[in-house]
Amino acid sequence: MTPQEVVEAYGVRLRPIRTGDTADVVDGCADPVSQRFVSNLPAPYTDVDARWWIEVGAPAAWTGGGAAYAIADPATDRMLGAVGLNNPVSARGQAEIGYWVRPAARGRGVATAATRALSDHAFAAGTARLELLTEPENASSQRVALAAGYRYEGSRRSAGSGRGGDRHDLLAWVRLADDPPGPTARLLPDLPGGLLTDGVVTVRRLAPDDAELMFRLHSRPEVVANQAPPVPPTRDATERRCLLAESAWLTGVIARLLIVDAASGEPAGSCGMSITDAASGEASVGYALLPDWRGRGYATRAVRLLAAWAFGSTGIARVTAGTVPDNTASHRVLERVGFQREGLQRGRLPGLDGTRLDDLTFALLPTDLR
């Protein structure tokens, strides 16, 4: 690849960056979203910074064996963003791919198109492996990675640095030269229309704004007593869990959902499903309700909705639930859905002060669902 090359594919043009792009570079890099997720951007970002990048930063990427392209509209040649390759390791045939998009061009598939175009071009030039690193809370970039054929590979511990010098983990998404172009199949697909409902109960993905409610629910003594270990969550941990709910869903770790009264829109509780054994198609569910909504069948309805979605959309063949042996209310919920008791696993779960808790296990097959 050379700085003079123009790549046109997937509805975008990748071309050299020019001095005439200065205003568009400022528009994209001074934006709060870019400032939040690109830690090495000056703040505030000015014309001086843009000209330095155009005249020095971008050419240095090429000199170092990487690439720096403007993403342009093929009809107007106006800059929509930028995409490039950095941190090349020639001995491994590896590089990192990154991008930013101007605010006015977001939501149109520009980042995905540019990532696919540059990935294809890099592979054709001999690159074997591309990494796309994202902040854990940047679900939009994670969706771009998936749409462009990248697969979640794991967490890069302490690979990112904040403006204050603090270190944090980044998520690694990888595409190999012989991988299909995408989109990548997900263990946990999105809910149809963003929610599940039976007209009485609605469930939808947990969001950052749900943190206060989740902290109040999961700090209740009776809820804490029925989890392992029975330790109440911290407020910070709850906020972080809600902030990363979409990322946990996209990476296939767990689907965390809010249970809502369909008529009033009032939150009633939470539920979730985690993939416990992807190879064998097994998942596990959990749930909790606020006191005012208990005894109305809401947990049963929510678990039934979640199980039906799992069997119909995710390829899951078996759903399990572990319970404290004396939690009879939870047992009744599971049995009404169709779960069957499978056995008591003695001392399976951690308790307090080094103790162990028994786990009464239930399981549901598609033919059991009521």
Contact (Cβ atoms closer than 8 angstroms) between residue 178 and residue 56:
no
Q: What number is the average pLDDT over the span 163-186?
A: 91
pLDDT for 41 equals 86
Which residue in 33, 197, 153 sits closest to 99, CA to CA?
33
pLDDT digits (tens, 9 = 90+) for 71-118: 999 999 999 999 999 999 999 999 999 999 999 999 999 999 999 999
pLDDT digits (tens, 9 = 90+) for 6-43: 999 999 999 999 999 999 999 999 999 988 888 788 88
pLDDT for 8 equals 96
CA neighbours within 13 Å on the CB side: how many for 84? Answer: 26
Torsion of CA 326, 330, 333, 338, to 10 degrees: -70
Alpha-carbon gap, residue 163 to 220, rounded angstroms: 37
pLDDT for 359 equals 92
Over the Cα atoms of the chain, what is R_g?
24
What are the C-alpha distances in Å from 98 to residues 41, 74, 134, 248, 321? 14, 21, 9, 21, 40
pLDDT digits (tens, 9 = 90+) for 228-256: 888 999 999 999 999 999 999 999 999 99
DSSP-derived secondary structure for 92-127: GTEEEEEEEE-GGGTTTTHHHHHHHHHHHHHHHTT-
Q: What number is the average pLDDT over the span 202-212?
A: 97
Q: What is the mean pLDDT of the chain?
A: 94
Token reading at 161: 């640095």
pTM of the model: 0.92
- Provide the pairing of β-strand 94-101 with 129-134: parallel
pLDDT confidence tier of residue 314, bands split at 50, 70 and 90? confident
